[in-house]
Amino acid sequence: MHTEARPQRAAGRRTFAVGWPAPLFLAVAGGLLTETAFPGKSWWVMAYVGIALLSLSLDDLTIRRGFVVGGLFGLAFFLPHLWWAEVAVGGPIGWLALTLLQSSAVALLGAATAAARQLAAVRRDALFEVLVFAVLWVAVEQLRSRVPFGGFPWGLLAFSQNDSPLLGLAPLGGAPLVSAATVAVGASLAVAVRKTRGARLRTAVAPLAAAIAVATVPGALPLAGSSESGVLRVAAVQGNVPTRGADAMAQARAVAANHIDGTRAALQRSSAAALDLVVWPESASDIDPRTDDALGAQISAVAREAGVPILLGTQRFVRDVRYNDYVVWTPDEGAVDVYTKQRPVPFGEYVPFRELLRRVAPAIDRIAVDMAAGTSVALVEVPIASLGRSVPIATAICFEVADDELIREAVRAGGELLVIPTNNASFGYTQESTQQLAMSRFRAAEHARATIQVSTVGVSAIITPDGQVLDETGLFSSDQMLEEVPLRTSLTLADRLGPWPSRAVDALAALIVVCAAVRSLQGRSRWLIRTLARQG
């Protein structure tokens, strides 16, 4: 019976290969340690350690075993990282399904890496091995960011590096470059470990020095911070909800009242004349004030008290679907501009294959009306009296903050400030809101834009264009933040390059996989010829 042959080691190349159970333990440890690089612990250096363990665990493995090891790393990472999905749904099915889906992508990474390491060029050259691993990692991150159902770009390695020197790479190449650099550091550490196994320590100096250089040198790169087109005095209002959890969505009128009261509280803390803009979160008024005259009048009244526009999140119902809108509301005219969410969350805001899934998971009907996608660029024009002009503001609603392309498109269209309205009420005291804040911080540095993340229940924050937090709220509290934020118009290199770095990575990854597949087929052909020859 044919069994998959183990890859042959190239002469002179040391691996960390040990007995079969050991790679499983290394992979699990690597996944768990990598997760600690993200909120809530934010031990960013652990991403390097975790990736190093994954790289070591894939040494000298067959493709099938690489798939298993990669999948175990993914499970160890995503099970704790996505725990908030269990809290939101109120049961494990959504959490486990999402975890398995994301882990399957990491399993593909493991298989592809195991195959690539059988290539002669990769086995001879440690630097080439590091680069191949980084390319494959980023390609898999992009794959799971796109498919299925528009993808789920959560847990990208880049989002763990906001406090590390690698953030300096964000304006140059965005999340793909920072993720690649993180992997390169970890993979270089793995090379150093291999070279110390049965050899003199001096052989590990070069890869260790490379890891230190990649991890530290980007810290010398400047990050933008100053104003280019004026400043705005902003009040961000976190109104809180009357009850916690998914039932908070039914409290729409009370939630709107909380944000009206919070705005008045902000006005007491700052002279009304000093404010330029009031920002409310997603779902601040899920009763649409454009169609509910009483609520519309209340919001207009508080807008007149402030003397400035209010940005607010609401729901718009059209026949048998709904839209998630972010509205510009002025004191005199009411709604004057709107952005409609382009990336509704599958199984959270709409249900694919509803009739089929209802048979196995009746709870999906808790989402009674599916959310439809908007089509316009994520940008609203906000009239600012003190500047004598309208300010284009880029806005990504809730989970859209994880979408590279959506925010980049809005900034390239002229966005001078980034606002991330969100509603975290369904996620309780989990790390979901702080994970989202990490993404907002990264987007600020990537696009060199001051960023406001404003939530119904927290965490809300105001962030400088270099990714630093100016002010932050706690969870499930009523609070307001008052800050002066700079407006900026210049584009970073990451914005100018657009999707081309990602496309280049995809092309390189495809080439690596094709070369590995050809090599594998050649090996199987040789095995078949030898077998037939023996039988003959």
3-state SS of 494-511 is HHHHCCHHHHHHHHHHHH
Q: Which of 490, 510, 531 is the last residue of a domain?
A: 490
Residues 237 and 145 in one domain: no
Residues 242 and 166 in one domain: no
Looking at the domain assignment, is residue 14 inside a domain?
A: no
- Burial classification of residue 132, based on how many CB atoms lie within 10 Å of its CB (0-12 exposed, 13-18 middle, 19 or more buried): buried
14 pLDDT band, cuts 50/70/90, is low
Residues 74 and 109 in one domain: yes
Give the separation between CA 332 and CA 402, rounded to whole angstroms.
Answer: 35
Residues 272 and 374 in one domain: yes
Looking at the domain assignment, is residue 13 inside a domain?
A: no
Looking at the domain assignment, is residue 126 inside a domain?
A: yes
Annotate 263-308 with DSSP letters as a single string.
HHHHHHHS-GGG--EEE--TTTT-S-TTT-HHHHHHHHHHHHHHTS
Q: How far is CA 72 from CA 67, 103, 145, 357, 459, in A?
A: 9, 8, 20, 27, 31
1 pLDDT band, cuts 50/70/90, is very low
Q: How far is CA 427 from CA 116, 257, 430, in A?
A: 40, 22, 6
Q: At what angle do helices 432-447 and 170-196 cross, to 10 degrees?
A: 110
**Angle of CA points 349, 355, 360, to nearest 5°:** 90
**Angle of CA points 127, 112, 108, to nearest 5°:** 130
User: Please, are residues 102 and 82 in contact by the beta-carbon 8 Å criterion?
Assistant: yes
The model's pLDDT over 237-273, given as tens digits with 9 standing for 90+, comes to 999 998 655 454 558 899 999 999 999 999 998 876 7
Looking at the domain assignment, is residue 9 inside a domain?
A: no
Residues 115 and 258 in one domain: no
Residues 290 and 218 in one domain: no
Looking at the domain assignment, is residue 534 inside a domain?
A: no
User: Please, are residues 30 and 427 in contact by the beta-carbon 8 Å criterion?
Assistant: no
Q: How many domains does the structure of the chain reveal?
A: 2
pLDDT of residue 90 exceeding 70, the answer is yes
Mean residue pLDDT across the chain: 92
What is the model's pLDDT at position 17? Answer: 56
Residues 218 and 288 in one domain: no
Residues 193 and 242 in one domain: no
114 pLDDT band, cuts 50/70/90, is very high
Per cent of the chain over pLDDT 90 is 79
Residues 193 and 306 in one domain: no
Looking at the domain assignment, is residue 530 inside a domain?
A: no
As a whole number of Å, the end-to-end CA separation of the chain is 17
Side by side, which strands form the sheet with 379-384?
379-384, 389-395, 417-422, 451-455, 461-463, 469-472
The pLDDT of 461-470, averaged and rounded, is: 97
The residue behind tokens 């964000």 is 170
Pairing of strands 461-463, 417-422: unpaired
What is the model's pLDDT at position 176? Answer: 97
Q: Which residues are tagged catalytic? A: 282, 341, 398
- Give the contacts of 514 (CB within 8 A, at least 6 positions apart): none
354 pLDDT band, cuts 50/70/90, is confident
Give the separation between CA 277 and CA 446, rounded to whole angstroms.
Answer: 24
The model's pLDDT over 405-458, given as tens digits with 9 standing for 90+, comes to 999 999 999 999 999 999 999 999 999 999 999 999 999 999 999 999 999 999
pLDDT of residue 142 exceeding 90, the answer is yes
Q: What is the pTM of this model?
A: 0.93
Q: Which of 176, 197, 222 is the last residue of a domain?
A: 222
Q: What range defines the domain where residue 48 resides? A: 21-222
Residues 206 and 348 in one domain: no
What is the model's pLDDT at position 528? Answer: 67
Residues 150 and 274 in one domain: no
What is the model's pLDDT at position 243? Answer: 63
What is the model's pLDDT at position 94? Answer: 86
Higher pLDDT, 461 or 3: 461
Looking at the domain assignment, is residue 283 inside a domain?
A: yes
Residues 262 and 305 in one domain: yes
pLDDT of residue 11 exceeding 50, the answer is no
Q: Which of 181, 197, 222 is the last residue of a domain?
A: 222
4 pLDDT band, cuts 50/70/90, is very low
Q: Residue 341 maps to which CATH number? A: 3.60.110.10
- State which H helix or E strand residue 319 sits in: none
Looking at the domain assignment, is residue 97 inside a domain?
A: yes
The pLDDT of 469-474, averaged and rounded, is: 96
392: number of CA atoms within 13 Å, CB side?
Answer: 14
524 pLDDT band, cuts 50/70/90, is low
C-alpha torsion angle, residues 130, 133, 136, 138 (rounded to 10): -70
